[in-house]
Structure 1
Amino acid sequence: MNLLKKTNTLFLIVIYLTISCNGKQENKIKSEENSKIELTISDTLKWSERMALSIIKRHPKLWQVDDNKNPKWDYKLGLLSLSFEKLYDKTQNQKYFDYVENYAKTVIDSNGSILNYDIEKYNIDMINAGKILFDLLEKTKDERYLAALKTLRKQLEGQSRTESDGFWHKNIYPNQMWLDGLYMGTPFYAQYSAEFENGKFFDDIIKQFELIQKHTFDPQTGLLFHAWDESKKMEWANKETGCSPNFWSRSMGWYAMAIVDVLDYLPKSHSGHEKLVGYLNQLAIALEKFQDEETGLWYQVTNMGGKEGNYLEASGTSMFAYAYAKGVNKGYLSSSFKDVARRAFNGLITQLIKVDEDGEIHITQVCGSAGLGGNPYRDGSFEYYIGEKIKIDNSHGLGPFILAALELDK
């Protein structure tokens, strides 16, 4: 009997030690993942690398950016990943490529299945991160990325459309096209069509821009409203035009980036090329009029700079700086617009970038999120846009800042 008791006691001790060790190991892993990397960031580096290293320092794993508790497939993380891919192309620093590849392997399994992805939701935001897969496939030859690319392309095949043939933003937002959605879907669509379909669907891509221009363009300001409801049934929709009521800088930033990125894959011989360049110039001319003279930045609600509560916003400004600079570099815009981009970027680094003693940098005054409809209801009013949370180091601003810095070679 005593021997049996001793045996049981010993067995319980072994179990306790095993659980305890495993728990400590798990906590150690979590601690390592969540802890900052000790790193001093030199101010002699270009702004693109200073920001990238600051991000890595704060978040050793890319999926942790925005203080995410778990890995996820996400349009914002896709945007940030894309900026790191471009930075790797420029610097050939393996650290930047590894940061992206580690994220991709975390959210895409060996069979190409994408974490937290549900094709049946037909959420066009989910397409955006797919842009990083082309480069990963080319460099690694890992077939998981091809499988994931095909899955995302399949979503576009089944994406719900307006009667006039525009992609719905999401199934839960019927009959609606948002400026954001052009960036989420069309650059991926254009690159896939160029690389795998011999450009077969370029006309469909141009159609998306034509619809947005036709229905959201405001002839008085030259700006574009955030969204359009073809059915005109949404509470936020103008009952005559279907447009949302205000101009949001980041939504036009998404749109401007969509144009310059789609043009990477659209040959000059295609009739849509000249059309997109025309849209870009039209927007570039209009936006310059609303650039803050003192700082070079743009306001959250673009055309209401003097209205109480409005603020100079980092993500929209970064996106505009990128689109202007790339537009000039590619020959789509007059060289005079490079000064607009420089003023914007200089405004960011003097007004909205904060530098720690160890060189770590932070981007401030980033609108955390904004949309239309949903629950709680978002009415697209001025008060709504200025009332959304303002964040520091939010990924909406991080990726575009790096992209703008690269285009300006800052």
Structure 2
Amino acid sequence: MKNIRSTFKITLIFSFLCLNIILAQEPANDVTTPLHLLQPDYPTPYGVKSIDEIVATLDRVYNYLETETAAKLIDATTKKEITDFKKLNQNSIFEPGAFRLTSYEWGVTYAGMTQITEVTGDPKYADYTNKRLKLIADIAPFYLEKYKKDKDYPSPIVQSLQPHALDDAGAICAAMIKAKRAGLNAELQPLIDNFIDYISNKQFRFPDGTLARNRPQANTLWLDDLFMSVPALAQMGKLTGDNKYYDDAVKQVRQFSKRMFNEEKGLYMHGWVEAMDYHPEYRWARANGWAVMTLVELLDVLPKEHEGYQDVLEQLQAHIKGLVQYQDGTGFWHQLIDRNDSYLETSATAIYTYSIAKAINNGYIDKMAFSPVVILGWNAVATKVNEKGQVEGTCVGTGMGFDPAFYYHRPINVFAAHGYGPVLLAGSEVIKLIKANTFEINDSSLQLKVE
């Protein structure tokens, strides 16, 4: 009983002292407190992350993908690894994994891994790309021989050897050329030539040469197709020095933009159908991401003396100015960019972060004006890389629609492959930005520090 009374007395004394301290303090108001320095309740971490923190995020993605994507062939019947590629057969498949090695999404992932090594000097990322691209190159001759006799012969790389859409060709072709230019020793050239031949000569085009599709309607432009073609053409121009590839790349940018870019908003529509008198403008985020990414990828290798260089540069600047007006306070962009009741989407946010950072790093736009947008974008993206290294919040593959419900209700999934490459690219380009500049918090806001 004495212990209880003692505890009660101590509690009363402590409470009395605390009350006196509170009563003795000046009330917080505009006179007694610098209210502008109160800490905001940000929904996303604010300020510049360290390079170590960014690398840690990239490492989680790398570790997950290294485990979850095939790096060898097996016999589907025996489950044994195939090391002698002269013994390939109809049962030869990639070992089971969560993602496809020859998809356009994985072309972006290969490019991202290659670039991280260039930025950090750590070879493991490029090794991820190199061993998989080399595997594809090593088995290609066997299947090409088989196709001469049987076009339907089963193959794990059929879409690379027999592309039927720009999705099959462009992104992985660009990644292969980048890897080749970075020093990968593999027989990639036959595959690269096959991809470029498809883009240049076999894909359906309008009479004026604009790359197009006949779905979902006849004579339809997909904004996505800028990315599925132009970076590969640009990289081929860099690889060969042949201006015809640059000329075609610039033509695509001009002709897509003429039909699909809203100059007032600074945004592209997703689809354009020739037969429509009125062209509905659904500004899907990831398609706009493919477009802005196309522009920075083209400028990265397009000779400055090319007659289209200034047009492409101005188009990029206009698009970035449009995009930044719609960044959400969380750092993300919305699934339909200009409709803020649509959900926040990760892959597009990562693509914008990468593209704007690259535009800053290459001197295309004002780094003082746009760097805080990039840092906020990366901080948002990093929150979507879970402990496993999976990228959350990514919209699944998406066709074309002409009503809002179609875009508003597209599912999200950690196995939507579109999120991984953009996260890798964004992180690598943000590292470059941080290495080259100094940032500070000035009156609670992030600012580029002018030396």
The bucket for the TM-score relative to the shorter chain is 0.7 to 0.9
Q: 1:75 aligns with which of 98, 104, 113?
A: 104
Equivalent in the alignment of 1:263: 299
Gaps of 5+ in 2: 1-51, 73-93, 145-155, 435-451
Whether 2:67 is the aligned partner of 1:53: answer: no
Q: Which amino acid aligns with 1:123?
A: A
Residue range with higher mean Cα deviation, 250-259 or 106-115: 106-115
Counterpart of 1:345 (choices 378, 384, 391) is 378
Q: 1:376: which partner in 2?
A: none
Q: Which residue does the alignment assign to 2:397?
A: 369
Q: Could you tell me which residue of structure 1 aligns to residue 351 of structure 2?
A: 319
- Coordinate RMSD, CA, aligned: 2.6
- Specify which of 233, 238, 247 is matched with residue 283 of structure 2: 247
Over residues 136-181 of structure 1, what are the superposed CA-to-partner deviations in whole Å (9 max), with x where a residue is unaligned?
43524433x0111111111123222112210124788642221111
Which residue is 1:380 aligned to? 402
Whole-Å Cα distance in 2 between the matches of residues 104 and 398 of structure 1? 17
After TM superposition, list the pairs within 5 Å mapping 1:3-402 onto structure 2. Answer: 45-59=55-69, 61=71, 67-68=98-99, 72-108=101-137, 109-111=139-141, 113=144, 115-117=157-159, 122-127=164-169, 128-138=171-181, 139-143=183-187, 145-158=188-201, 159-169=203-213, 174-230=218-274, 232=275, 239-241=276-278, 243-293=279-329, 295-305=330-340, 307=341, 310-335=342-367, 336-350=369-383, 352-354=384-386, 356=387, 360-372=388-400, 379-402=401-424
Q: Using the alignment, how far apart are the partners of 2:326 and 2:165 within structure 1?
A: 32
Partners in 1 of 2:403 and 2:97 — Cα distance?
Answer: 26
Identity of aligned residues (%): 24
1:274 CA drift (Å): 1.0
Q: 1:119 to 1:140 in 2, by over 3 A?
A: closer
DSSP-derived class of the 2:205 partner: coil
Would the aligned equivalents of 2:332 and 2:380 in 1 still touch at CA under 8 Å? yes
- What SS does structure 1 have at the residue aligned with 2:244? coil
Once the two structures are TM-superposed, the CA of residue 386 in structure 1 deviates from its matched residue by: 2.0
* CA–CA distance in structure 1, aligned partners of residues 259 and 67 of structure 2: 44
Which amino acid in the other structure matches residue 65 of structure 2?
A: I
Map of 1:17 onto structure 2: none
CA distance in 1, matches of 2:95, 2:302: 35
AA aligned to 1:100 is: T
SS in 2 for 1:117: helix
Runs of 4+ in 1 over 6 A off after TM superposition: 62-66, 170-173
8 Å contact 1:300–1:311 — kept in the other structure? yes
Corresponding letter in the other structure for 2:172: A
Q: Matched residues in 1 for 2:239 and 2:218: separation?
A: 31
- Contact 2:285-2:348 within 8 A present in 1 as well: yes
Give the CA deviation at 1:382: 1.4
Partner of residue 83, structure 2: none
1:194 corresponds to which letter in structure 2?
K
Per-residue CA deviations over 1:187-212 (Å, capped at 9, x if unaligned) read 11111123224323322211111111
- Please state whether the residue corresponding to 1:177 is helix, strand or coil: strand
Larger radius of gyration: 2
Corresponding residue for residue 236 of structure 1: none
TM-score (norm 1): 0.76
Write the distance in 2 (CA, Å) between the matches of 1:349 and 1:72.
24
> Partners of 1:93 and 1:46 in 2: how far apart?
13
